[in-house]
């Protein structure tokens, strides 16, 4: 990290860095893969609706929360009812929450986007039903109607009380994402997985070197403001039509190995999955867990760890020097030898992390 900062501080070193970036660009990452434009983010439209045509699996219409919207629907269609008791035996309708996720780049009138419906009362199944025309509003009160949703409900998982309507929402208002600030700047927001001062400084230097010689003023365009934020000034000549400039910045490619990222382990207890970067080290420690004893201290030769139990034993082998610190892949390989359940593996990793001997951040997905 210190070497990288020193290079960024000296123009000649930065020019050398740029040569490395250009040479490896074909195999590197792009700015848009690790950062987004501020102002571009996913948003959700929401509303209530009725799923109709259910084969007796809908809500009980003698409940007012269902009877009121159903009676209003019939009244709007020219068939008002005299009393809610007329709906008591209806089981073909379900009251649902309807949501629609707008892409980070926004949406335009007549765009068609998938919507999701979820039963909010006691309907056991939405299978075979159709969402009746439902208005979708912005997430905040008073934002108005942006789309209308309608279409057949498709059940995609084991839960029959939720479903999807493919292309069900049709936009009736544009949803624009404002990315250019009034002062003629754009802001890059680094994705949290890549956040850090070294990353923001690196991206700022890459942008400045990419535009080197193109700016008459000779001033730097990009400046790292925080661990996640980089402010970029759009040149005066390009402000009336900034699309080409923004596309150029977001498309810059560089050697991803220059990113100084911390070691990370991502665990998903629900799916029983563990994903880790290749640089996770385990310091010397001793942990007992059920019928296992885990020793991560270097033991000489190629053996760095041992798992010992009444009927199970596995050596954790390293591939480097005899006294090399064991890495996570060595430990996971030993786990596989003794067929240790994933839940137990995750428990051991958390214990190692709390002891300070697992040199990585654990992220629970």
Grade residue 34 by pLDDT with cuts at 50, 70 and 90. very high
- Give the tens place of pLDDT for each residue, 273-286: 888 776 677 776 66
pLDDT at position 199 over 80: yes
* Helix, strand or coil, per DSSP, at residue 42: coil
pLDDT at position 294 over 70: no
pLDDT for 298: 56
Query: Among 294, 293, 259, 289, which residue's Cα sits nearest to residue 277?
Result: 259
d(C-alpha 328, C-alpha 244), whole Å:
45
Task: Select the highest-mean-pLDDT range: 75-79, 119-123, 169-173, 356-360.
Answer: 169-173
d(C-alpha 88, C-alpha 86), whole Å:
6
pLDDT for 257: 80
Mean predicted lDDT score pLDDT of the chain: 78
pLDDT for 293: 66
pLDDT at position 166 over 70: yes
- Give the tens place of pLDDT for each residue, 90-134: 778 889 999 999 998 899 999 999 999 999 988 889 999 999 999
pLDDT for 13: 41
- Give the tens place of pLDDT for each residue, 135-148: 999 877 778 899 99
Cβ neighbours of residue 65 under 8 Å, at least 6 residues apart?
Answer: 95, 121
Top pLDDT among 273 and 191 is at 191
d(C-alpha 173, C-alpha 119), whole Å:
27
pLDDT at position 26 over 50: no
Percent of the chain with pLDDT over 90: 36
Query: Among 92, 150, 84, 88, which residue's Cα sits nearest to residue 117?
Result: 150
Query: Among 267, 265, 302, which residue's Cα sits nearest to residue 280?
Result: 265
pLDDT for 116: 97
- Hey, what's the torsion of the CAs at 97, 101, 106, 107, to 10 degrees? -60
The CA-atom distances, in angstroms, between 224 and each of 190, 197, 201 are 11, 8, 6
Full-model pTM: 0.65
Grade residue 86 by pLDDT with cuts at 50, 70 and 90. low
- Give the tens place of pLDDT for each residue, 325-344: 667 777 777 777 767 788 88
pLDDT for 40: 87
The predicted model gives 205-234 an average pLDDT of 85
The CA-atom distances, in angstroms, between 60 and each of 43, 90, 139 are 33, 7, 29
pLDDT for 291: 66
Check: CB of residue 332 under 8 Å from CB of residue 314: no
Half-sphere exposure of 311 (CA within 13 A, CB side): 2
Task: Select the highest-mean-pLDDT range: 47-61, 108-122, 213-227, 253-267.
Answer: 108-122
Grade residue 205 by pLDDT with cuts at 50, 70 and 90. very high
pLDDT for 4: 40
The predicted model gives 49-78 an average pLDDT of 79
């Amino acid at each position: 990290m210190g070497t990288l900062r020193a290079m960024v501080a000296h123009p000649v070193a930065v020019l050398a860095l740029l040569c490395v970036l250009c040479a490896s660009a074909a195999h590197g990452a792009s700015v848009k893969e690790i950062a987004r434009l501020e102002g571009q983010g996913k948003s959700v439209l929401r509303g209530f609706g009725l799923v109709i045509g259910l084969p007796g699996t809908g809500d009980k219409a003698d409940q007012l929360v269902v009877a009121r919207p159903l009676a209003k629907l019939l009244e709007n269609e020219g068939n008002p009812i005299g009393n809610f008791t007329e709906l008591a035996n209806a089981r073909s309708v379900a009251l649902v929450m309807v949501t629609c996720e707008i892409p980070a780049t926004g949406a335009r009138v007549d765009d068609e986007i998938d919507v999701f419906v979820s039963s909010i009362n006691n309907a056991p199944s939405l299978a075979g039903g159709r969402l009746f025309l439902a208005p979708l509003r912005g997430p905040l009160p008073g934002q108005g109607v942006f789309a209308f949703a309608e279409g057949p409900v498709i059940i995609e998982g084991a839960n029959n009380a939720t479903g999807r309507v493919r292309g069900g929402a049709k936009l009736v208002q544009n949803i624009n994402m404002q990315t250019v600030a009034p002062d003629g700047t754009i802001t890059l927001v680094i994705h949290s997985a890549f956040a850090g001062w070294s990353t923001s400084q690196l991206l700022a230097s890459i942008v400045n070197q990419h535009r080197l010689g193109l700016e008459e003023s000779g001033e730097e365009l990009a400046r790292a403001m925080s661990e996640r934020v980089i402010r970029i000034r759009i040149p005066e000549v390009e402000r009336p039509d900034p699309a080409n400039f923004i596309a150029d910045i977001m498309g810059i490619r560089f050697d991803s190995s220059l990113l100084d990222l911390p070691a990370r382990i991502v665990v998903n207890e629900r799916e029983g999955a563990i994903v880790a970067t290749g640089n996770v080290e385990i310091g010397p420690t001793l942990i007992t867990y059920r019928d296992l004893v885990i020793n991560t201290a270097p033991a000489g030769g190629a053996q760095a760890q041992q798992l010992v139990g009444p009927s199970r034993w596995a050596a954790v082998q390293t591939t480097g020097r005899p006294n090399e610190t064991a890495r996570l892949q060595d430990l996971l390989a030993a786990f596989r030898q003794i067929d240790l359940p994933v839940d137990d593996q995750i428990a051991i990793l958390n214990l190692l992390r709390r002891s300070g001997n697992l040199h990585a951040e654990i992220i629970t997905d």
